[in-house]
Structures are given as structure tokens and as C-alpha cells.
Chain A
Amino acid sequence: MSSAVEQLEGLTAQEYKYGFVTDIDQETLPPGLTEDTVRFISAKKEEPEWLLDWRLKAFRHWQGMTEPTWPNVSYPKIDYQSISYYAAPKSADDKPKSLDEVDPELLATYEKLGIPLEERAVLAGVAVDAVFDSVSVATTFREKLADAGVIFMSISEAVREHPELVRKYLGSVVPPSDNFFAALNSAVFSDGSFVFIPKGVTCPMELSTYFRINAMNTGQFERTLIVAEDDSYVSYLEGCTAPMRDENQLHAAVVELVALENARIKYSTVQNWYPGDKDGNGGIYNFVTKRGACRGKRSKISWTQVETGSAITWKYPSCILIGDGSVGEFYSVAVTNNHQQADTGTKMIHIGQNTTSTIVSKGISAGVSNNSYRGLVKIMPKAEGARNFSQCDSMLMGDRCGAHTFPYLEVRNKTAQVEHEATTSKIGEDQIFYLNQRGIETEDAVSMIVNGFCKEVFRELPMEFAVEAQKLLGVSLEGSVG
């Protein structure tokens, strides 16, 4: 191995910067999963009968399912009975009415992450629905949103305040029986966000939620539902990071998006769950089902993700393009380092006429990690004039990591146009030397090259998020950048 490769690996093998544990008393359910667990969660949340039934149905379905084995990842068998399915900060019963009432230690946690909540909320005009473990503890800007008619609240609250909307759309994009992890989530989901943008409304601000796992052995099962009515627009930002710990943590979220006629939903994620240490111990298992349905004509759903964390990522944000002329987009940067494994990509299902989809995937592998792109483009018989463009680029850092591309294509309409481009490159020692020779040090050179490689994705992110994403990439790969 040349010394440049060693140097690269030295740079990439740095410690997770955000590793710490906040000491907050948890009201935690003992490990185990039975019908009683599901009933406990539902009762704890004072849910209506229909939702308990929905959960129980999902649970019974899940019991008959097996974990998928097709992803290009390996991990020890998960004992679902050893996981605790509910944890909430103790103060949950008397929830704070404003940020002043939020547990200061909790706010300090966000500070350490570089996410000063109030500053962010006030200065940036971003409404934040912060999820700390399983219960929402702070919601801001609700009034301003309410004036516009936008509903943005935790899903538990939405179940109480807008049961008819939740009931109408929950599970309508990702049915409880969809897959093993979606079924599990449906049975035990703890909390999450609900967004409803009424007809003709452009959401007056970017919506943002920060997730954070902070309880030993507690799986986190978020549920997000976003509905955009005719001619509406919303940009939703999701970002997360988790503290250092030794045991693997299961994270099985479900995100459902519904876009009606002419509606546009932009969903951006920066994911930085704890990836495990450099020897592969610990780290989050991130098994997520994200799917959007473009139900209306000319509707558009755009997924942008920057995935730098988790020990294992299994995630395929997808679009079902039902409305004629609807548009699906997927822009992704997935970074794996040390022992991380990622199997991620998208599915674009073209059902309506003249539907178009764009896929831009950038995979970066370092250390001894494995990074797979898995994407399906499916053109159904009635999708006259459907078009897809896919571009999948992989970058390898060092010579012990892997990059894989699994594109699947199913075209059942001969008027369809489908293009696929794929490249794999090694981060060039020549490139690094070239930048070195102009006075730029190696860490900065690597950061520059990687950020250049990801540029097409970063420019899809909201400005503020793009900066954060570049920083995260820096932290994931170099250590000192950011």
C-alpha cells in the first residue's frame, strides 16, 4: 500500500465527533415485543380505537414476515425481543409550552451538535419540530404556519387533532404490510411529524425536524406523513445525529408523501446517525421505508439525501408517478467509512402518461466499507411517453472498500425513454497531489474533491442545509474540516 493510501485512510478513520450521552430520565418500556407492547404504546398515546386496531393488524402481519436478506449488507441477527419499544423524556406528561420550558440539558444537547434550536428557529425562520427520542418536546412557529393554514405537528398530536386526515392518508402510500420493517414500524411507531399543506398554499417556511436517538437499547420508529393538496408547495428538511454508544440500535422509520394535482414536495435529508467506531462496533441500523405518491397531474416529489451515518443503511426513497405529467427526482450522496455498509437507492414507478424521473446517485466509500446503489425504474404499460435519466457515480477512497451498482429496469411501454449512466472512480492521488502542489493541504484537497464530486446533489439542497451537508461530509471523511 502506498503511503498516500495510508495517509488517506488515516484521514478518513477519524472518530465520530458527536459522541456523547445526555443524562435524562427515561420512561422506558422493558425489552420485548408482544401485542401488549403495541397496546401499551397506543394507550400511552391515548390513541383512538381505529389506530390501535391498525397497529395490531400490522403487528400480526409482521409476525408472519421474515427479515429481507437481499440487501448487500451483513450484520448479526437482530433479536427483536431484546429491544425496548418505548422511551420518552419524563417531562412528557406536562409538555413545555415554549422553548423556555424545554429541559435545558436537552437544549444543550442540540447546542453540542451545532444546532442551537432557538437561534436556528428565530434567525433562519425555520419551524422546528424537534424529536428527542420518541416524543416531541418543542414546536415553534406553529402560529405563523397556522395563519397560512399549514398543519405541522407531531403525528401523535395530529391523531388527536386531525384524526380524519391521519386516518385518510396513514398507510396509504406505504401499507403496513409493505415490508418487514414497515410492518414493524406500523405496529410500534412512537412519534414523528405530520404536515398538511392545503390547496393553493405555498408553505411560508422550510419545515425541519431533528431526530436524535438517546436511550440505550431503544429502537426508534418514526413515522412521517406529508400531504400536499392541489397547487401547494412544501420543502421539508430532516436531519439527524446520534450519540456514541456500544450497542447497535435499530431505526426503522417510515415516511409517506402524498402530492395531489400540481403539488410539489421537496424532501431533504441529512443523515448522520452514529456509524459505529472504526473497528465496526456499535452504530445505528437504519432500515427506512420512504415513499412518495404523485397522485395528481403534474405533481412533483423530489428526494434529496446526504447519508453519512449509520452502521447499516437500507433505504430507497421512491416515487410512484400516478398523475399524468408528474415528476419524481432522487438526488443522493451516500458516504460509507470504516465498517459502514450502505445499500441505498430509489424506485421510480411510472404509471401515468408523460411522467419523468431523474436519479442522481453519488456513492463514496472509504475504509473497509461497502456502498451499494440499488435502483429500480419501472415503466408500466400505460405510461406513454415516460422518461427516466439515471446517473450513478461511485468514488473509492483507499483500496479496501467496495462500491456496487444494482440498476433494475422494467420497461413495459415502448414509447419510454430510459437512460442510465454509471461511473466508478478512485479518488485520485494525482488529483490530491495537484491540489497539494498549489499549496492546499491534503485534508482540504480531499474535501474539495469529494464536494466537487457531490456538487450536483448539494445544489438541490436548501442553501443552509447544503452548508451543513458539506460540513458533515468533511467530518465523516477528514476530521478537521468544518
Chain B
Amino acid sequence: MLQVRNLHVSIEGQKILRGIDLDVQPGTVHAVMGPNGSGKSTLASVLAGRDGYEIEEGSVTFEGQDLLDMDPEIRAREGVFLAFQYPVEVPGVTTMYFMREAINAVRKHRGQAELSAGEFLKLAREKINPLGMEADMLKRAINEGFSGGEKKRSEIFQMAMLEPKLAVLDETDSGLDIDALKIVADGVNSLRSADRSFVVITHYQRLLNYIVPDYVHVLSDGRIELSGDKNLALELESRGYGWINDEVVPQAAAGV
């Protein structure tokens, strides 16, 4: 589904990613972990097409197409979803209006009929209730006055509405208490399917107790230094990230 090859990215001349390789098969969940400043969020932003990042080298292929060549809205319509670490507020624009425009833009792109107001509302109610939110939320302006937990749940709601093929969750667990974390994880788990993949970016192992990954990658200083299964996350939890830099990197450099 997604192939990242030797991806080098810089921001304003500063190198952030130094050769990322990542293969995501349909139906799999990949966790990308790493210390602050390792390039996790940059990877998420580049996949979604945020402005201001310079791709110096490498390629990203999504379902056989050059992802980097697409505008952000095309990527979204093709099925790439980013759950933002810091969802922005858009005053005066209701979540309902926003989501209806979004879902219809996506449907149009896929050659599907647009949803009527009634159909949209029915779908929205279906998707919002399991997240412990009221349909009233739809009438509020996008993220305006939302608590941290509400913002993250709204992201998951939007993901459920848009039914992406690849969902990138950028530190969705940050700032969540344990109850909210469970709700968000349940939301993600209910969307897991054989043809949908997830890249879960997180600093902490905690989230991975609830969203159990198939693969765990450790990002350090712009490179994936180590990949493994879910047990790698547990090892990181007990040994910390310092272990990667102290042992794994020198060994890799020495060709061990």
C-alpha cells in the first residue's frame, strides 16, 4: 500500500529525515516510535503533504502512485488521512458543514454520489456515538473551545467518516487521560480491516497497549534504527530511547 524509499527531508536547510525506508502492507498497523526531535511528526507531515518541507531525495509510493506528486487534498481523496497532533480551530465553520464538504469532496473524487443532508446526518450520528460524543458537537465550530480530549476524539470521528485507506495518527495519545485514550483506541480498532492500514506515531508505549501494532519502528535522528514486533515497544518502555543511541546505532555503524 505504502512504500517509502530512502526519504531525505529538510526544513529550511536543516536535515530532519535522513533516509527512511518503510513498507506498509494493507491491513497492518505500524507504530513509529522515537524520542522528541527524531523526525516522527515530519514523517507524518510529509506523508500528508504539508507545505514547507523539502524532499531532498527518495520516493513515496501509495497504491502504485507517486504520493509526493499529489496536492494534499488529492492525497486525502485518494485515502490518506492524518489525525493531527494539534488540530486547528476554524471559528465560525461548523464541524457538520466541514465534514459534509469533506466527505462529498472525497465521494466525488471516487465517483460516488454526494450525500444528502439527511444521509450525512444519519452517518454522522452512527459514527459519533461510539466515541462518547454527542451529535451536538457537529453544530460547534471546528475544534473551537474543544478540550484536548474532544479535539482528539473529533479527529477519530473525522477518520471514521472519511474511511481512509491509510491513516496516520500523529501523537494522538498526547494529552489524553486513560479513559479518553481507551475511547480513541477503541475507535481506531473498530476501523481496523484487511484493506486499511495505520501508521501510529507515538512517543509512549502506553497507546500500543490498546492499539496493538503488527510492527514497531524506532526512529532516531531521522533514521529508522530498529524495527520489530510489538515486543520492541515493551523493550523501549523498560530501557528507554537512550539504549538505541548507546547500543544499536554504534553497532549498526560498526556493521555488527
Contacts and interface: CB of A to CB of B under 8 A. Distances in A.
A436 B75 CA distance: 9
Nearest to A3: B51
Interface string B177-200: 000000000000000000000000
A435 B90 contact: yes
A438 interface: yes
Interface string A405-445: 00000000000000000000000111101111111111010
A181 to B, nearest CB: 34
B87 A434 contact: yes
A438 B92 contact: no
B84 A434 contact: yes
A451 B51 CA distance: 24
B73 A439 contact: yes
A444 B98 CA distance: 11
Interface string A438-456: 1111101000110111111
Interface in A264-291: none
Contacts of B72: 433, 436-437
A2 interface: yes
Contacts, number: 83
Interface residues of A, number: 26
A439 B105 contact: yes
B216 interface: no
Interface string B71-112: 111011100011010011011110001110111011001000
B88 A431 contact: yes
**Residue from A431, A433, A442, A449 whose CB has the most chain B CB atoms within 10 Å:** A433
B51 A438 contact: no
Contacts of B255: none
Contact of A440 (B52, B75, B92, B102): B102
B93 A440 contact: no
B22 interface: no
A24 interface: no
B11 to A, nearest CB: 11
B123 to A, nearest CB: 15
A124 interface: no
A440 B88 contact: no
B90 A440 contact: no
Contacts of B76: 436-439
A4 interface: yes
B218 to A, nearest CB: 26
Interface string B51-81: 1100000000000000000011101110001
Contacts of A431: 88, 90
A448 B52 CA distance: 23
B141 interface: yes
B141 A452 contact: yes
A82 B126 CA distance: 68
Contacts of A444: 101, 105
B125 interface: no
A429 B51 contact: yes
Interface string A444-482: 100011011111100000000000000000000000000
Contacts of B109: 439
Binding site of A, secondary structure by majority: helix, strand, loop or mixed? helix
Nearest to B82: A437
B84 to A, nearest CB: 7
B71 A436 contact: yes
Interface in A1-50: 2-4
Contacts of B31: none
Contacts of A439: 73, 76-77, 102-103, 105-106, 109, 162
A452 B90 contact: yes
A430 B85 CA distance: 12
Contact of A448 (B75, B84, B93, B103): B93
Contacts of B162: 438-439
**Residue from A436, A438, A453 whose CB has the most chain B CB atoms within 10 Å:** A438
A452 B76 CA distance: 22
Interface in A347-401: none
Contacts of B101: 440, 444, 448
A449 B91 CA distance: 8
Contacts of B50: 433
B158 interface: yes
A163 B141 CA distance: 52
Nearest to A430: B88
A188 to B, nearest CB: 42
A438 B102 contact: yes
Given A3-B51, A448-B98, A436 B73 contact: yes
Interface string A314-329: 0000000000000000
Contacts of A456: 92
A452 B92 contact: yes
Given A433-B51, A440-B105, A454 B92 contact: yes
B48 interface: yes
A434 B88 contact: yes
**Residue from B48, B82, B98 whose CB has the most chain A CB atoms within 10 Å:** B98
B175 to A, nearest CB: 18
A434 B105 CA distance: 14
Contact of B158 (A2, A438, A441, A448): A438
Contacts of A452: 90-93, 141
21 contacts: A2-B51, A434-B87, A434-B88, A436-B49, A436-B72, A437-B48, A437-B49, A437-B82, A437-B84, A438-B102, A438-B162, A439-B77, A439-B109, A440-B98, A441-B71, A448-B90, A448-B97, A451-B93, A453-B91, A453-B92, A456-B92
Given A434-B88, A435-B102, A452-B91, 20 more contacts: A2-B52, A433-B48, A433-B50, A434-B84, A435-B90, A436-B49, A437-B82, A438-B98, A439-B102, A439-B103, A439-B106, A440-B98, A440-B105, A441-B73, A442-B73, A448-B97, A449-B90, A451-B93, A453-B91, A456-B92
Interface of A: 2-4, 428-431, 433-442, 444, 448-449, 451-456
What 4 A-B pairs come out closest when comparing CB atoms? A452-B92, A452-B93, A455-B92, A438-B102
